[in-house]
Amino acid sequence: MKAKVVILTDLHFSKSANQAIPERKGEFADILLLRAVHRLNRYIKPDLVFIGGDLLDHPEDADRLELLSELKNIIDLIQTPTIIINGNHDPARDIFESVIGEQPDFLDINGIRFVPFFDPEKPGYNAFRIDDELARMRKLGAEFDGPLVSLQHVPLFPPESAACPYNYTNADEIVKIMHEKNYVLALSGHYHKGFALLDYKKRNYITGRALCEKPFGYAVIEIDDKGKVNCEQENLAMPEELRLVDHHVHTKLAYCNENMDITKSIALGKMFDLDGIVVSEHSAHLYFNRENYGQCLQYLEGMASNKKDDRIAEYFALYANEADDFCRLGMEVDYDQNGQGVIEPAVWNNVEFRNGSVHVLKSLTENPDMKAVEAEFLFLTEAVAASGVDVLVHPFRIFRRRGLALPSHLFATVVDILKPYDTAVEINYHTNEPPPEFFRMCIENGIKLSLGSDAHNLYEVGEFYAHLKFLQKIAPDFDLHDLLIS
Ligand SMILES: [Fe+2]
Ligand SMILES: [Fe+2]
Ligand SMILES: [Fe+2]
């Protein structure tokens, strides 16, 4: 048996930037946490998430409970048990727990016991474990057969190992109990640089890096029932050397956007070490109001419709007001049922990057005739490619969204359609799982790939965790730069 635990720590959430410590991005802590939570739920699937304190930056501020409650709403999305402790930047335990919820004395998961400690601070950003808590630590160890983990905010480690500048003033005494009672790991936060797994005299010590500072790290730790500990450090930021571009970021003009904001998308793209972003709004959302869009007039009538409400100028103005060199202006072009792009030629010419998508098929009725659906799908896919877009976005997603089996027998046909037009294809995980076999065929045929987050919420901007794992799996021997559009 094994338990996988992830530590997220030191969020330092605040409504304003910390002027004295600019590298601390606490003003983005809610977005960083949400990004981590979605990654954990969808891909990492831990058995326990430990939130190691300093959720806030200023524990005395008037809005402290409001901020804690905003974070609590995000923490509630975590699909596994959590243990959350306060740090020296958080309110006292009773106030903290009145918002975050009362925390357990311990949690037993897969044969491993996790014990949180809420220890008082000592000068110099150190801490101290009082006698009652030492007694609790011994008792919980004595009555449990398997390995235990001590969870606390301030780093705990044998002082002679000198792992970091902060420690417990009675660390020797606590470490002694760790040896007596089979505590195999001390897992802490507080020290923003963190330290990787320190394996010292058969006991393990880890301090997680701060989630609020570049590269926005967290640790994934596996502990087996023999007490063996393994630790991987991961980051929310992308590997800087890859110089990745997010070619598909929505704006506040999308009807389906949740909190999009070009200025913040740019800030996040920079924080996550991207090389740039492309804002790419649904053309149909810009030409039709919500109601007419809901009636699919963009598809049924297209640009010939007399019910268009043009927000194109608003889109261009938004970009002009908020974008800088890091951001290019794009469009996600929709198509009508005759395969005509829902976009005016002048607008087409005035954007720098064009994504093309198939969002509607009239043949997709309640009991669809799949032959007709496939024929219409191929017709529109060819129309997208022939129109000259840079990228066909989320290929085949329309089948998945309708709960239909993926027509893998069409993969080769779509490759043959795209090739002569030099159209790239997008790896897209937004309500989607890209089919590996199709992308393998694209690579074999020299079709370029585009990375798109399809961000409708800021936490998604530049989130290519799954995209990079996917590429490692389907094309392990390729240089990424040979595969991706430049
Ligand atoms: Fe701290
Ligand atoms: Fe789309
Ligand atoms: Fe999109």
- The CA-to-CA distance between both ends of the chain, in Å, stands at 45
Ligand 1: centre distance to CA 133 (Å): 20
Domain pair 2-235 / 240-483, same fold: no
Exposed e or buried b for every residue in 284-298, given b needs 16+ CB within 10 A?
A: bbbbbeeebbeebbb
Report pLDDT digits (tens) over 203-241. Answer: 999 999 999 999 999 999 999 999 999 999 999 999 999
* Smallest-distance ligand from the CA of 281: 3
Measured in Å, residue 356 CA sits from the centre of ligand 3 at 9
pLDDT digits (tens, 9 = 90+) for 73-95: 999 999 999 999 999 999 999 99
Beta bridge partners of 148: 113, 183
Task: Quickly state the pLDDT bin for 96 (edges 50, 70, 90).
Answer: very high
Mean pLDDT of the 158-187 span: 97
CA of 259 to the centre of ligand 3 (A): 15
With cut-offs at 50, 70 and 90, classify the pLDDT of residue 486: confident
Q: What average pLDDT does the chain have? A: 97
Distance CA 293, CA 305 (A): 12
Which tens digit of pLDDT belongs to each residue from 19-35? Answer: 999 999 999 999 999 99
Q: Which ligand lies nearest to the CA atom of residue 254 in the structure?
A: 3
* Tokens read off for 335: 């198509």
- For residue 120, report the distance from its CA to the centre of ligand 1, in Å: 12
User: 53 alpha carbon to ligand 1 midpoint, in Å?
Assistant: 7
Average pLDDT in the 330-335 region? 98
CA of 212 to the centre of ligand 1 (A): 12
How many angstroms does the Cα of residue 39 sit away from the middle of ligand 1? 25
Task: Please tell me the number of the ligand nearest to residue 331's CA.
Answer: 3
Which ligand sits closest to the CA of 260? 3
Cβ neighbours of residue 59 closer than 8 Å, sequence gap 6 or more: 88, 89, 90, 91
CATH top-level class for 2-235? alpha beta
Q: Which ligand is nearest to the CA of 356?
A: 2
Taking residue 58's Cβ as centre, other Cβ atoms within 10 Å add up to: 18
Ligand found nearest the CA of 454: 3
Q: Which ligand is nearest to the CA of 256?
A: 3
Ligand nearest to the CA of 394: 2
- 412-436 in b/e burial notation, b at 16+ Cβ within 10 A? eebbebbeebebbbbbbbbebebbe
Report how far ligand 1's centroid is from the alpha carbon of 153 (Å).
7
Question: How many angstroms separate the CA atoms of 337 and 256, rounded?
Answer: 22
CATH label, 240-483, candidates 3.20.20.140, 2.60.40.2250, 3.40.190.10, 3.40.630.10: 3.20.20.140
Residues with C-beta atoms within 5 A of ion ligand 1: 54, 87-88, 190
Q: What's the pTM?
A: 0.97
* Smallest-distance ligand from the CA of 358: 2
Question: Which ligand has its closest atom nearest to the C-alpha of 59?
Answer: 1
CA of 217 to the centre of ligand 2 (A): 30
Count of alpha carbons within 13 Å of 211, Cβ hemisphere only? 31
What distance in angstroms lies between residue 459's CA and the mean position of ligand 3's atoms? 15
Q: How far is the CA of 484 from the centre of ligand 3 (A)?
A: 19
From ligand 1's centre to the CA of 411, what distance in Å? 52
Please tell me the distance between residue 220's alpha carbon and the centre of ligand 1 in angstroms.
20
Q: At residue 343, what is the residue type?
A: I
How far is the centre of ligand 2, averaged over its atoms, from the C-alpha of 299 (Å)? 14
317 Cα to the center of ligand 2, angstroms: 22
Looking at all shown ligands, the one closest to residue 247's CA atom is 3
Domain residue extents for the chain: 2-235, 240-483
Ion ligand 3 neighbours (CB, 5 A) are: 332, 454
What's the order of all strands across the beta sheet hosting 353-356?
A: 245-249, 276-282, 327-333, 353-356, 391-392, 424-428, 449-452
Under the banding of pLDDT at 50, 70 and 90, the label for residue 164 is very high
Q: Is the CB of residue 307 less than 8 Å from the CB of residue 330?
A: no
For residues 394 and 397, give the distance between their C-alpha atoms in angstroms, rounded to a whole number.
6
Distance 395 CA to ligand 1 centre (A): 46
CA of 128 to the centre of ligand 1 (A): 14
Distance of CA 200 to the CA centre of its chain: 33
In 47-200, beta strands by DSSP E: 48-51, 82-84, 107-109, 112-116, 121-122, 126-127, 148-151, 183-188, 195-200
Largest pairwise CA distance in the chain: 80
State percent of the chain over pLDDT 70. Answer: 100
Cα 357 to averaged position of ligand 2 atoms, centre (Å): 6
CA of 393 to the centre of ligand 2 (A): 7
Helix or strand (DSSP H, E) at 31: helix 29-39
Both tokens assigned to 276: 């740039």
